């Protein structure tokens, strides 16, 4: 339903995506630093609720990191009954591309390990490892003020997991994100080499670079993501696209009733309740995929429409009455699923082929369900 009409959908706005897009008004307000209530009663409450979840053992912490990175959030914050649930879900859906981000070492230490490496299929870290702070495995060198790996005696938190992560990095099995590698480079060398960057000189924990990379938290409203831009960024689960844009344009222009168009679009998208489909989905109730009319073959969608012997005879008679093109399985399949219609004969030249095919489909549909529900024999 949410696919564009030229892809076989109805162009309906995805309600889940739209619900998340509407949370942007809260996200933008919560992400702006310094925080401003702007006369709102709810905003200060939400901000305090987030800030209360910040780690108590850190002297500096930007509460917005909790919103940005799910691994930093305590378990109660991820519950669906949390007042922040919809807001957090909205930001979690935004694709995050931080290759151009530049941050300082103090901000880096407060990120989860999940955020600082490039994800690949061959390396899977445990949930606990992903939630570890970078400060568990790295520290700031007192001399250079750059990030460095911790040595064995310096690792105090989850030493086994922390050591394993560092070993994977040293063996080049885990690739670190560019913004993290930059914090390991001396500021004097930032203007050399192929990848130049301007180092961050302040020591404040600051999530602004991450927020600006996804167009959130800017004091200028024009720089922030709009609901429309959010919907284009956040893709819904991909549905199988059947047919070409020109075919669907032709489909929507055909002079059909709503009932007939509803049946036909379900057929093209292979969403009709054929017995084989019902047996696959609910085998405990539909114990057999066999066609209830002929009782000889499994009822696939094609069998439901025209391969069942009784339905084939009915369809063939109608076909020969209206079309000059010889009847064949391939011809009727192309007419129903690809909208490649046969030539009318002389007697039916004033009737559009689409209306004839639609009448055949509707007749088969109604007679089939009359047999299923009322046990009226299917007479060809």
Query: Residues 337, 340, 343, CA angle at the centre, nearest 5°?
Result: 135
Strand (E) positions, 184-330?
none
pLDDT of residue 334: 94
Digit-coded pLDDT (tens) for 142-196? 888 899 999 988 999 999 999 999 999 999 899 999 999 999 998 888 888 778 8
DSSP state of 188: G
CB atoms within 10 A of CB 225: 19
User: Is residue 291 very low, low, confident or very high in pLDDT (cuts 50, 70, 90)?
Assistant: very high
Which of 3-7, 102-106, 204-208, 329-333 has the weakest average pLDDT? 3-7
CB atoms within 10 A of CB 215: 17
Whether the predicted pLDDT of 225 surpasses 80: yes
Mean pLDDT of 110-133: 90
Distance set, CA 73 to CA 62, 64, 139, 219, 294 (Å)? 13, 11, 22, 25, 59
Helices and strands (H and E) in the chain: how many: 18, 2
The rounded distance, in Å, linking the Cα atoms of 187 and 185 is 6
Burial readout 10-39 (b: 16 or more C-beta within 10 A, e: otherwise): eeeebeebeebbebbebbbbbbbeebeeee
pTM exceeds 0.85: no
Q: Which residues contact 169 (CB under 8 A, 6 or more apart)?
A: 117, 149, 176
> Both tokens of residue 284?
């405990």
192/378 Cα distance (integer angstroms): 81
Count of C-beta atoms within a 10 Å radius of residue 332? 22
Looking up tokens 């059909």, which residue turns up?
256
- Give pLDDT tens digits for 233-287: 887 555 566 778 899 999 999 999 999 999 999 999 899 999 999 999 999 999 9
256/359 Cα distance (integer angstroms) = 10
Q: How many Cα atoms occupy the beta-carbon half-sphere of 254 within 13 Å?
A: 27
Report which of residues 265 and 220 the model is more confident about.
265
CA dist., res. 191 & res. 296, Å (int):
76
Is pLDDT above 70 for 59? no
d(CA 378, CA 372): 10
Q: Which tens digit of pLDDT belongs to each residue from 154-169?
A: 999 999 999 999 999 9
pLDDT at 379 over 80: no
pLDDT confidence of residue 223: 78
Q: Are 333 and 302 in contact (CB under 8 A)?
A: yes
Check residue 328 and give its pLDDT. Answer: 93
Q: Mean pLDDT lowest for which of 235-239, 306-310, 355-359, 364-368? A: 235-239
pLDDT(86) > 80: yes
Pairwise CA distance, residues 72 & 1, whole Å: 36
Q: Per residue in 3-58, pLDDT tens?
A: 777 777 777 788 888 999 999 988 888 888 666 777 788 888 888 888 888 776 66
Mean pLDDT to the nearest integer, 339-352: 92
Q: According to the model, what pLDDT value does residue 239 have?
A: 55
Q: Give pLDDT, residue 25.
A: 87
Q: Mean per-residue pLDDT for 295-306?
A: 94
Question: Taking 70 as the threshold, does the pLDDT of residue 215 lie above it?
Answer: yes
């Amino acid at each position: 339903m949410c696919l564009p009409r030229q892809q076989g959908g109805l162009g309906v706005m995805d309600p889940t995506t739209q619900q998340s897009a509407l949370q942007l008004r809260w996200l933008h307000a919560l992400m702006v630093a310094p925080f401003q209530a702007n006369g709102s009663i709810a905003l200060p409450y939400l901000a305090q609720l987030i800030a209360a979840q910040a780690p108590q053992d850190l002297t500096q912490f930007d509460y917005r990191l909790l919103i940005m990175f799910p691994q930093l959030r305590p378990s109660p914050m991820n519950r669906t009954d949390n007042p922040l649930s919809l807001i957090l879900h909205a930001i979690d859906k935004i694709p995050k591309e931080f290759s151009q981000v530049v941050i300082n070492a103090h901000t880096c230490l407060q990120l989860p390990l999940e955020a600082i490496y490039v994800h690949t299929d061959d390396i899977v870290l445990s949930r606990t490892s992903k939630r570890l702070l970078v400060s568990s495995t790295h520290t700031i060198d007192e001399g250079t003020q750059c990030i460095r790996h911790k040595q064995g005696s310096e690792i105090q938190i989850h030493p086994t997991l922390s050591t394993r992560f560092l070993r994977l990095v040293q063996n080049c099995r885990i690739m670190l994100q560019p913004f993290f590698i930059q914090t390991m480079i001396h500021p004097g060398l930032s203007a050399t080499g192929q990848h130049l960057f301007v180092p961050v000189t302040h020591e404040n924990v600051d999530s602004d670079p991450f927020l600006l990379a996804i167009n959130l938290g800017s004091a200028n409203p024009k720089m922030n993501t709009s609901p429309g831009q959010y919907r284009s960024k956040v893709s819904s689960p991909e549905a199988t696209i059947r047919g070409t844009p020109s075919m669907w344009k032709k489909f929507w222009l055909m002079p059909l009733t709503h009932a007939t168009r509803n049946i036909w679009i379900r057929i093209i998208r292979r969403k009709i309740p054929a017995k084989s489909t019902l047996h696959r989905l609910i085998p405990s109730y539909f114990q057999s995929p066999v066609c209830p009319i002929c009782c000889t073959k499994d009822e696939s969608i094609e069998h439901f429409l025209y391969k069942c012997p009784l339905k084939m005879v009915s369809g063939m008679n109608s076909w020969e009455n209206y079309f000059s093109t010889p009847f064949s399985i391939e011809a009727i399949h192309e007419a129903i699923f690809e909208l490649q219609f046969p030539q009318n004969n002389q007697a039916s030249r004033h009737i559009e082929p689409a209306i004839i095919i639609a009448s055949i489909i509707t007749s088969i549909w109604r007679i089939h369900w009359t047999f299923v529900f009322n046990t009226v024999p299917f007479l060809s």
